[in-house]
Structure 1
Amino acid sequence: MNQRSQIAMSEEEIAKLLDGARKLQLGTINPDGTPHMVTMFYGLVDGKIAFWTYGKAQKARNIERDSRITCLIEDGDEYSELRGIMLYGVAKRVDDPAGVLGIGMEVTRRMTRMDDVEPLREYVEQTGRKRVGYVVEPTRVVSWDHSKLAAAPRQRSGESL
Structure 2
Amino acid sequence: MTVTEQRRGRRIMMTPEERDAFLTEQRTCRAATVSADGTPHVGALWFCWHEGSLWLYSVTRSKRWAQLRRDPRLAVVVDDGHEYGELRGVELSGRATFVGESPRTGAPCPELDTPERLFAAKYFAMDHMPHDNRHAWLRLTPTHIASWDFRKL
Name the TM tier (shorter chain). 0.7 to 0.9
**1:148 Cα shift?**
1.0
- Tell me how many residue pairs correspond in the alignment: 140
Q: Could you tell me the TM-score, scaled by structure 1's length?
A: 0.77
Distance (Å, rounded) in 1 between the aligned partners of 2:58 and 2:93: 19
1:132-147 matched pairs, under 5 angstroms: 132-147=136-151
Alignment partner of 1:148 is 2:118: no
1:121-136 matched pairs, under 5 angstroms: 121=129, 124-125=130-131, 127=132, 129-136=133-140
Residue 43 of structure 2 aligns to a residue whose secondary structure is strand
Q: Is the contact between residue 23 and residue 48 of structure 2 (CA under 8 Å) also seen in structure 1?
A: no
**1:44 Cα shift?**
2.7
1:37-76 CA deviation, whole Å, 9 max, x = no partner?
Answer: 1111112343421012222211000111111101101011
Indicate how the Cα distance of structure 1 residues 3 and 59 shifts in structure 2: closer, same or farther if over 3 A, else same: closer
- 1:106 aligns to what? 118
Q: Please, which of 60, 64, 68 is the counterpart of residue 59 of structure 1? A: 64
1:121-161 CA deviation, whole Å, 9 max, x = no partner?
Answer: 4xx13x0x232211111100011111111xxxxxxxxxxxx
Residue 16 of structure 1 aligns to a residue whose secondary structure is helix
Q: Is the contact between residue 42 and residue 106 of structure 1 (CA under 8 Å) also seen in structure 2?
A: no
Q: Is the contact between residue 96 and residue 138 of structure 2 (CA under 8 Å) also seen in structure 1?
A: yes
Distance (Å, rounded) in 2 between the aligned partners of 1:3 and 1:140: 13
Q: Could you tell me the TM-score, scaled by structure 2's length?
A: 0.81
- 1:152 aligns to what? none
1:82-115 CA deviation, whole Å, 9 max, x = no partner?
Answer: 0000011211101333349744553332223x2x
RMSD: 2.2
Distance (Å, rounded) in 1 between the aligned partners of 2:78 and 2:23: 8
1:3-34 CA deviation, whole Å, 9 max, x = no partner?
Answer: 72211111111111011111101111122211
- 1:38 aligns to what? 43
Distance (Å, rounded) in 2 between the aligned partners of 1:4 and 1:65: 34
Which has the larger Rg?
A: 1
Q: Please, which of 73, 79, 84 is the counterpart of residue 84 of structure 2? A: 79
Residue 4 of structure 1 aligns to a residue whose secondary structure is coil
Note the residue ranges of structure 1 that are not aligned, 5 or more in a row.
Answer: 150-161
What percent identity do the matched residue pairs reach?
Answer: 26
Pick the structure with more helix per residue.
1
